[in-house]
Structure 1
Amino acid sequence: MANTPLSPGLTKFLAQFVAAISGTLFAISDGMTYGWTAPFIPYLISNSSHIDTDHDEAQWLESSLLFGSFCGLPATIILVDFIGRKKSLLLASFTVLIAWIAIALGDSMIYIFIARFFKGMAGNMAFVAAPMYIAEIADQKIRGFLSSIIYIMMLLGCLIVYCVGPYLPYYTPSVIGVSVAVLELAIFSFVPESPLFLVTKGKVEDARKSLQHFKPYADVDKELKMITDELERQKEQKGKLTDLVTVSSNRRAILIMTVLNAGQHLCAYSVILMNLHLIWRLLVPSTWILLLQP
């Protein structure tokens, strides 16, 4: 059956795939950051460590990342609407690049603490900006799939650091993290900003070009009108903070997200990812430990 504007082939989504993949490469680095402590805390507190570290300092390596993520929330809320989704992702990637260099070259734990704090801030920003960006550029037929790429990338990052951390030199994950960040900066810099953000800034012609890039099969004028009408509707129906409680659909959404997030952390998701190597050494029989050790 021939392709029509309503049922385009996958090749017509190529620009959206490139934007989604290149814009979420940071998630590989974020996953590596999340799992970095699993192989490297045992190294840092060992006698062979190149940095003098005790158990108390090592425990703060995990907390510094989470503190950074929490503290980065206000900046994230402001920047995604002030400089845009694309520039927020690029800023996060650049921050992660500098942080990996600091971890590789730092000769004191203070450098690692600061680097992981800023990595937490960058990860928070990127994990907010990326879903927004993908939702605004993707066709609804593949929007769900493209939105899931970020989580696949993150888990891939965890797997990478788990595999290379115990067996290769200390700086190896940093080299991989820097390479991923450079690749995102090199590719994603040439991808257009989301058309919705451009319209909010009054850059209608730029938004038109962005739509032509991402959806060459669609009626650009119709898409642009839909975006404009939706923004006008949002301006006329401005929400209030109290709507989060007074509107039943909002209450339901808050309840669902609260239960899901609480469940994620109460099941020790973060603790397991950040300490997987130590957990394995406790759970796996001693004969297997000898095989798993480098």
Structure 2
Amino acid sequence: MQFGWSAPFIPILQGPDSPVKITDEDIDWLESIYMIGGLAGLPLTIYMVDRIGRQKTVLFASSSSFTAWILIGVANHVNYLYIARFLTGLAADVAFVAGPMYVAEIADQKIRGFLAGVIFLMMLAGFLILYGVAPYVPFYACSIIGGIIVGIQLVGVPFMPDSPYYLLTKGKHEKAKKHLQWLRGREDVDKELEAIAIAVERQKSERGRPQDLFISKSNRKAVIVMTVLNTAQHFSGMAVILMNLHSILIAAGSVTISSNVAGILFSAIMLLAATVSVFGIDHIGRRILLAVSSFLTGFALLAVAIFFTLQKRGLVGPESAWIPIVAILVYAAVFKCGLGIIPIVMTAELFPTKVKAMGMALADLIFLLTGLASIQLYQNLVRIYGLDVPFYIFAAFTLITAVFSIVYVPETKGKTLEEIQYILKGEQPPAAKKEGTYVTDDVVESPQ
């Protein structure tokens, strides 16, 4: 809800009945400060996920988000909104690292992709709530809804089991066993727990320095994959469209469908597409979904760019405004089928445990920096050249990503975390799972 907050609320804040008076400069900052808050949260993320655990880190993020909703609800000056946007950027940064890490460590590999994808389904449900409610209710109403949702999380998370991996790193063997039994729904978890314990002990002796992200061949490839995919998410227009959807559709000049209705359709289609993707991710595979999604997303963005070029030259009128609306709705469907969901799933899969916090923090840093860069690029190019130029850039980058996905991205479907490390090294993985034996984590050096 906070990620897409500016899309419906900026037009409201610009209106004559705005509860908070804002300027054009405020609009730019209200979008950018969300990403700046995320950047400020990176040191906290690196420290907290390994120091206090994944579960408690999520709880901290929920508290920050709850505070932000209160500030938005009572805001009578733009400074309240600035502080709230900063806090929610920080909260999202922490949650989108700790959440996927937690899920990857508690899940069986057969459903790991599905469970990690559920995080994004909740995000898309937030967009749908926001776009469907915000234009039709008082300014403070969405804060009440957001506060209730986060309040439920604050009450529920303390009762969740913690990651057995994290508990074993802290020497809490009995607690790790108890939590693993709860997660697996059975008493007999000794073999799996022993495999996790061996992996944890091995990793304690291995180096976990920042430079190890680049020294190791497997880590280096993981960094390259995540750099390109996280950059591609934003340079396919994700943050720009989610934060400026209503303004873009108003600029298209549609008289057949309002920007508010189109926003509801956009978020509903994204949620439906992501749901289909989540159920198919462990069957179809990450790489093929990523490549197909990137190709189709690029063509949808290209259609939007061409329309605004023709509009700028006076070659199309309001009767053709359905073209960018349809293209953006197609974008919602094809983007969330792969490019909009696969990177967050793969981030938690590619890095070995000893450098996972640093690797995911680096991926998140790239995600935030490129998000901020895409927003600034869009805002400046629109003022100078019009809406078409940034969409041409987004289309080109997305099509390049499709080729990269086919050529370079490894397939992690159905692979254990250990097998994935062998694949990243370019080596043949050993049997992932033998009768009565669990191989549940990664290695830094191969047996050779």
The TM-score with structure 1 as length reference comes to 0.84
Measured in 2, the distance between the counterparts of 1:57 and 1:37 equals 11
Measured in 1, the distance between the counterparts of 2:54 and 2:67 equals 20
Asked if 1 retains the 8 angstrom alpha-carbon contact of 2:61 and 2:92, the reply is yes
1:175 to 136, 144, 147: 144
| Residue of structure 2 equivalent to 1:255 | 224
Deviation, 1:76, is: 0.5
Residue type of the alignment partner of 1:52: K
Asked if 1 retains the 8 angstrom alpha-carbon contact of 2:54 and 2:163, the reply is yes
2:48 to 79, 90, 104: 79
Asked if 2 retains the 8 angstrom alpha-carbon contact of 1:99 and 1:115, the reply is yes
| Residue of structure 1 equivalent to 2:210 | 241
Asked if 2 retains the 8 angstrom alpha-carbon contact of 1:65 and 1:116, the reply is yes
Deviation, 1:292, is: 4.8
**Aligned pair in 2 of structure 1 residues 292, 231: CA closer, same or farther (>3 Å)?**
closer
Deviation, 1:288, is: 2.9
**Aligned pair in 2 of structure 1 residues 44, 222: CA closer, same or farther (>3 Å)?**
same
Task: Verify: 1:203 aligned to 2:172, yes or no.
Answer: yes
Deviation, 1:284, is: 4.6
Deviation, 1:152, is: 1.0
Residues 134-159 of structure 1 deviation map (CA, whole Å, 9 limit, x = unaligned) = 11111222111101101111111112
| Residue of structure 2 equivalent to 1:16 | none
Measured in 2, the distance between the counterparts of 1:85 and 1:270 equals 26
Measured in 1, the distance between the counterparts of 2:61 and 2:155 equals 14
Residues 48-86 of structure 1 deviation map (CA, whole Å, 9 limit, x = unaligned) = 101121111122101110000111011001001111111
Measured in 1, the distance between the counterparts of 2:259 and 2:127 equals 22
Deviation, 1:217, is: 3.0
Asked if 2 retains the 8 angstrom alpha-carbon contact of 1:90 and 1:185, the reply is yes
Asked if 1 retains the 8 angstrom alpha-carbon contact of 2:135 and 2:260, the reply is no
**Structure 2 counterparts to residues 52-131 of structure 1, below 5 A:** 52-131=21-100
Residues 20-47 of structure 1 deviation map (CA, whole Å, 9 limit, x = unaligned) = xxxxxxxxxxxx1011101111111221
Measured in 1, the distance between the counterparts of 2:64 and 2:148 equals 13
The 4+ residue runs of structure 1 with deviation greater than 4 A are 290-293
Residue type of the alignment partner of 2:67: I
User: Counterpart of 2:16 in 1: which secondary structure?
Assistant: coil
| Residue of structure 2 equivalent to 1:155 | 124
| Residue of structure 2 equivalent to 1:226 | 195
Task: Verify: 1:188 aligned to 2:152, yes or no.
Answer: no
Deviation, 1:291, is: 8.7
Asked if 1 retains the 8 angstrom alpha-carbon contact of 2:7 and 2:243, the reply is yes
Asked if 1 retains the 8 angstrom alpha-carbon contact of 2:62 and 2:150, the reply is yes
Asked if 1 retains the 8 angstrom alpha-carbon contact of 2:131 and 2:260, the reply is no
| RMSD of aligned residue pairs (Cα, Å) | 1.8
| Residue of structure 2 equivalent to 1:42 | 11
**Structure 2 counterparts to residues 2-17 of structure 1, below 5 A:** none
How many residues end up aligned between the 2 structures?
A: 262
Where structure 1 has 5 or more consecutive residues not aligned to the other structure, the ranges are: 1-31
Measured in 1, the distance between the counterparts of 2:261 and 2:213 equals 50
Measured in 2, the distance between the counterparts of 1:120 and 1:57 equals 17
Deviation, 1:282, is: 1.5
| Residue of structure 1 equivalent to 2:239 | 270
Deviation, 1:290, is: 8.7
Measured in 2, the distance between the counterparts of 1:289 and 1:150 equals 30
Residues 87-145 of structure 1 deviation map (CA, whole Å, 9 limit, x = unaligned) = 11111111101110110012111111011101111111011111111111112221111
Residues 248-288 of structure 1 deviation map (CA, whole Å, 9 limit, x = unaligned) = 22222222111112222222211110011111112252343
Where structure 2 has 5 or more consecutive residues not aligned to the other structure, the ranges are: 263-448
Residue type of the alignment partner of 1:38: A
**Aligned pair in 2 of structure 1 residues 200, 245: CA closer, same or farther (>3 Å)?**
closer
| Residue of structure 2 equivalent to 1:164 | 133
Residue type of the alignment partner of 2:68: A
Task: Verify: 1:281 aligned to 2:250, yes or no.
Answer: yes
Residue type of the alignment partner of 1:153: M
Asked if 2 retains the 8 angstrom alpha-carbon contact of 1:44 and 1:58, the reply is no
The TM-score with structure 2 as length reference comes to 0.56
Residue type of the alignment partner of 1:80: V
**Structure 2 counterparts to residues 138-153 of structure 1, below 5 A:** 138-153=107-122
